[in-house]
Every structure is written in C-alpha cells, then in structure tokens.
Amino acid sequence: MRGNDCKGRNAEYREVQEVGSEKEVNVIEIHNLNKSYDGFALQNVDLQVTAGRIHGFIGQNGAGKTTTIKAMLNMMPLNAGEIKIFGKDFQKDEQTIKEDIGVVFDEMGFHEFMTPKQIATMMSYVYANWDGEAFQKYLTRFGLPLKKPCGKFSRGMRMKLQIAVALSHHAKLLILDEPTSGLDPVVRNEILDIFQEFIVDEEHSIFLSSHIISDLERIADEITFIDKGRILLSGEKDSILEEHAIIRCGKKEAENISDDCVIFKRMEAYGCEILVNDTDTARKKWGDALVEPAILEEIMLFYVARENAREGGRAASDEAKSIKSAEAGKAGL
C-alpha cells in the first residue's frame, strides 16, 4: 500500500498518526467541519488524507463533495471546524499553501478567449515555482494546441489543460473535483493514468472527488463516503472491501440473521440481500455459500438505503407525534 514510508518528506508540515510502530503523514486534516446554507449542511465532517496516496471522496451529486472542497480551500466561510493542509491553517497560511497545491474543478476557471500560451504567462505571475518547460511538455503530451482559445477545446481537452496547469508548478498535492465527469472512457483512463504517475514517488498526494465509483475503485488507496453532508464511511479502500460483504439468501433465512454486523437488509421479491461490515464473522456464522464480496458501489448504495430508511423512520415518528399532539389538543377543547 502506498504512503507507509514517510522518509524524506518536509518535516514542517508533518501531521503524524501512530499506526502500530509506523508513522503516517496526513497532508489534509479536517476536524468538526460544519457549514450551512440554502437548505444544505455539512455536519461534523472529519477527514484525513494520508501523504503519498490517492484519497477518493465519493458520494451522490449534491452530497457535499464540492462544498467540502470549497471549504477546504477557504472559498467560503465556515460555521465551525478546523482545516489544515500540510499541517498549516489554510486561513492563516493560504498563499504559502497554494504554492504547493494544484486544484482542478469540474468547470474550467479560465476565460474562454485565453490560449494556453496566455494562460502560461498569467500562471508565471501567480506561482513562484511555475515551470514553463514542464507546461509545454504536458501540452505536447496531451495534444493541446498552444495558440488556440481554450473556449474551443472539447471537455476532455479542457480537463487536460487544467491538469497541465496543476502539474506545472511542482505541486505536492492535487485537489480534484469531478475531473473525469462527462468524459469518454478513453480520455478518462488516460487521465487516471496521469494521476497514478503523479503519486508514484510517494512524495505527492491526491484528493479526488467523484461520483464515478469505478474510477476510484481502480486507483484510490483511501475512500471517504459522504451523503447529505455527513461522513458515513472512511478508511483504506482495501480494508473497506475486505470488511464488507453481501449475504444473499431467502426471506426465511434472513429472519435468522442477527443484526450484530448488519448495515442494512434489502428485501427483494424472491429473496433478501444483506450488507455486513464484518466478513469474517459473517462467514463463520452463515458460511461461505451465502457470503459474497461487495464492491464499492454496492457498499455505497446499502449505506444510502440505510440512511434513507432511518430518515423515513424519523419522519414517520415525527408525524405520529404531531397527530397524537393534535388529537390531544382536540380532546382538551
């Protein structure tokens, strides 16, 4: 697993976690992040991104991924919480931190009349470590014309342009918001390969937000799952996949399965599917024949179903209380 060896990294931004006898560096630390606006709220978000790894941030559209990233980059005021990047407070050390991060959003941030050549000139004034030669190499590799207005680029070309900019000032950390959304499979695979190349030396890290779970299942080392502004699951991808499994059985068999490690039971017309978060215990209790490995998409869907069921239960309870209160009021008249 990438990221366990932390030697040689700059000690000034080391946020360290003890893991047995090993030490792991966190390049991003978010604690108790809260942000409310327009009927949506991030609620007590805690998140750690380990150096040298690709951290996948998954969730449905509208789950809070972009809001979290904007909060992380000091693009909106917080209601509460602490955010550190490279061990520094972004609000206090924003300019220093920005030199070492590359950011790519779903929508291109450059004026459509600008050419890559003009963008390079502008970036040379923005970043102290801007590398024009590196930028030209990326343009050549990505097949991007130097003097063509970027507004005439395809979506894939625009995304490659943003990535070229992000990689051309020697950033240590890439923060990417839906970088492969809407791209055809060939371009998506090419971009994912670029991300994997970026972290090969373990001196670089990536925080990658996406609702395309197959992309993250392919390249991510760590996964955090957010839904309706709340973190539901976070950890090493391999551990999450090893711990979770699906039991497929008949309805009568499902009645005998205790809730010890059950996340959610989904009743179907001809049987039942049950997500558990302790594969070893499940296999010992119910046997290999019933217990099957789960993929990330299945895990996410089961967690969402559980949260929806809980909300439905709370709504029904509130409605019952309201009816009971109204009836009591009428009786008192």
pLDDT band at 20, cuts 50/70/90?
very low
Whole-angstrom distance, CA of residue 211 vs CA of residue 23: 31
Residue-range domain boundaries for the chain: 11-235, 244-331
Task: State the pLDDT at residue 39.
Answer: 84
Q: What pLDDT, on the 0 to 100 scale, is given for residue 6?
A: 31
Which pLDDT score is estimated for 15? 39
pLDDT tens digits for 231-284? 999 999 999 999 999 998 887 777 777 777 899 998 887 788 999 999 988 888
**Right CATH for 11-235 from 3.40.190.10, 3.40.50.300, 3.40.120.10, 1.10.10.10:** 3.40.50.300
Tell me if 26 sits within 8 A of 49, measured CB to CB.
yes
pLDDT score, position 91: 79
Burial of 200 (0-12, 13-18, 19+ CB in 10 A): exposed
Over residues 65-114, the pLDDT tens digits come to 999 999 999 888 889 999 999 999 887 888 889 899 999 988 878 999 99
The pLDDT mean for the chain works out to 84
Q: Tell me: the pLDDT tens digits for 37-47?
A: 888 999 999 99
Task: Report the pLDDT value the prediction gives residue 331, as an integer from 0 to 100.
Answer: 55
Tell me what pLDDT residue 106 has: 80
The mean pLDDT of 168-174, rounded to a whole number, is 94
217 vs 8, higher pLDDT: 217
Question: CA 275, CA 277: separation in Å to the nearest integer?
Answer: 7
| Higher local confidence (pLDDT), 87 or 5 | 87
User: What's the CA gap between 64 and 85, in Å, rounded?
Assistant: 19
Q: How far is CA 184 from CA 180, 188, 214, in A?
A: 9, 6, 14
Structure confidence at residue 32 (pLDDT): 95
pLDDT band with cut points at 50, 70 and 90 for residue 217: very high
Query: Residue 18: which pLDDT band, with cuts at 50, 70 and 90?
Result: very low
Instruction: Give yes or no for residue 163 having a pLDDT over 80.
Output: yes
User: At residue 128, does pLDDT exceed 70?
Assistant: yes
Q: What is the pLDDT of residues 277-302, one digit of tens each?
A: 999 888 887 776 678 999 999 999 99
DSSP 79: S
